Structure 1
């Protein structure tokens, strides 16, 4: 599978079924030649009329990727702080 094809897939948290969005980028370790994680866009916070809110990207470690299917990537993001919904 190519990176361009991965970017078309939705990332879904297997613990709560929440859609986290498409892959925005990959976190690579170029020295070792491995994928360290996938980067998904964070929620956009809109302030004001022109949507000047900031969106922080989230990194999901590669060992949290559970399955890459034909139309979805399943990840376990339950205990990652940025995806904690119990706050």
Structure 2
């Protein structure tokens, strides 16, 4: 699947069903040797005026992606937040 098709999908975490944003707003870390995605870098601050504030990011390993659907990407990372 091409990144252009993924970029409009919303990222939702389990088990709380929290909306984290859209993949197009995230950064990806990629393994240079294999070309595979290693993790998603998701901005934690969703405020529109976040350019005035130091942004915090949450790194989610790609193996936490449980399902890529038509409209969203389901991620299970409850134990990462604890």
Q: TM-score, normalised by structure 2?
A: 0.81
In the comparison of the two structures, how many residue pairs are matched? Answer: 80
Q: Tell me which protein shows more helix as a share of its residues.
A: 2
| 1:6-85 equivalence runs, <5 A | 6-23=6-23, 24-44=26-46, 52-81=52-81, 84=82
> Matched residues in 2 for 1:69 and 1:44: separation?
23
Q: What is the rounded CA distance, in whole Å, between the counterparts of 1:45 and 1:12 in structure 2?
A: 18
Alignment gaps of 5+ in structure 1:
none
Following superposition, which runs of at least 4 residues in structure 1 exceed 3 angstroms of deviation? 44-47
After superposition, the CA RMSD in angstroms is 2.3
Gaps of 5+ in 2: none
TM-score w.r.t. length of structure 1: 0.77
